[in-house]
Chains A and B, each alone.
Chain A
Amino acid sequence: GAGVSQSPSNKVTEKGKDVELRCDPISGHTALYWYRQSLGQGLEFLIYFQGNSAPDKSGLPSDRFSAERTGGSVSTLTIQRTQQEDSAVYLCASSLDGHEQYFGPGTRLTVT
């Protein structure tokens, strides 16, 4: 079946602009996660959605970052007033039961 999809695959933006990254989870998966991976670094947790529960936002690095999940499916990660340190690959993962997480292909964000 179809895996996790993310769009765009690449995004180049100027410092100070806002960006939106989209994630479509695997159909039927109730849990959705956002991570980011900076060059040569490990994966860093950003935010977690589970069903209709309040999201776990504990990993968001600043108030410029926000995410929402509409209808329990598609999620959008928004970064306002982008900075150069926001440059990274943003990865979305989904899970059927909150355990095994399956990643999408990622969005490579470059802030110039």
Chain B
Amino acid sequence: QKEVEQNSGPLSVPEGAIASLNCTYSDRGSQSFFWYRQYSGKSPELIMFIYSNGDKEDGRFTAQLNKASQYVSLLIRDSQPSDSATYLCAVMESGGYNKLIFGAGTRLAVHP
């Protein structure tokens, strides 16, 4: 059973701080990794994807990938209360069917 693990949280950070969200996965053949943000009562919104080892930056967001350690992370700099949401890590299953395996999500709370 291929799995994606995330700490459920809540992760509480003060406004302006860096939020660090982590994810581990079991499918060693996976090549594509995604972070979705889900506000309460809403559907997931794609915010970052990463395919290569290392860092990928997009505005206040940085995704980090370490395939050897089977570890993906998302850093949110200058956290804002509007960043408060559940962040879902998703890993594309190896084998060619492009199926995403989702973690249960980490709830982030940014307090003023």
Hey, which bits of chain A sit against chain B, CB under 8 A?
31, 33, 35, 41-45, 48, 50, 56, 58-59, 89, 91, 95, 98-106
Tell me which of A41, A95, A101, A106 has the highest count of chain B C-beta atoms within 10 A of its own C-beta.
A101
Residues of A within 8 A of B102 (CB): 35, 42-44
Residues of A within 8 A of B90 (CB): 43
Main secondary structure of the interface of A (DSSP, over half): strand
Do the beta carbons of A48 and B88 come within 8 Å of each other? no
Do the beta carbons of B44 and A99 come within 8 Å of each other? no
How close is A45's CB to chain B, nearest CB, in angstroms? 5
Partner of A95, one of B43, B98, B101, B105: B98
With contacts defined as CB atoms under 8 Å apart, how many contacts are there between chain A and chain B in the complex? 54
A33 to B92, CA, bound (A): 13
Question: In the complex, given contacts A35-B102, A56-B97, what are 15 additional A-B residue pairs having Cβ atoms less than 8 angstroms apart?
Answer: A33-B100, A42-B103, A42-B104, A45-B101, A56-B99, A58-B97, A99-B32, A99-B49, A99-B92, A100-B49, A101-B34, A103-B36, A103-B43, A103-B45, A105-B42
Q: For the side of the interface on B, what is the size category?
A: 20 to 34
A56 to B44, CA, bound (A): 22
A106 to B105, CA, bound (A): 18
Partner of B43, one of A31, A59, A91: A91
Residues of B within 8 A of A103 (CB): 36, 43-46
Which chain A residue shows the least CB distance to B92? A99
Partner of A99, one of B36, B42, B98: B98
How close is A96's CB to chain B, nearest CB, in angstroms? 12
Do the beta carbons of B42 and A100 come within 8 Å of each other? no
Chain B positions 28-87 with a Cβ under 8 Å from a chain A Cβ: 32, 34, 36, 42-46, 49
Known contacts A45-B99, A48-B97, A48-B98: A100-B34 contact under CB 8 Å: yes
Ranked 9 nearest A-B pairs via Cβ? A98-B98, A43-B102, A42-B104, A103-B43, A42-B102, A56-B97, A106-B43, A103-B44, A45-B99
Which chain B residue shows the least CB distance to A50? B98
A48 to B97, CA, bound (A): 8
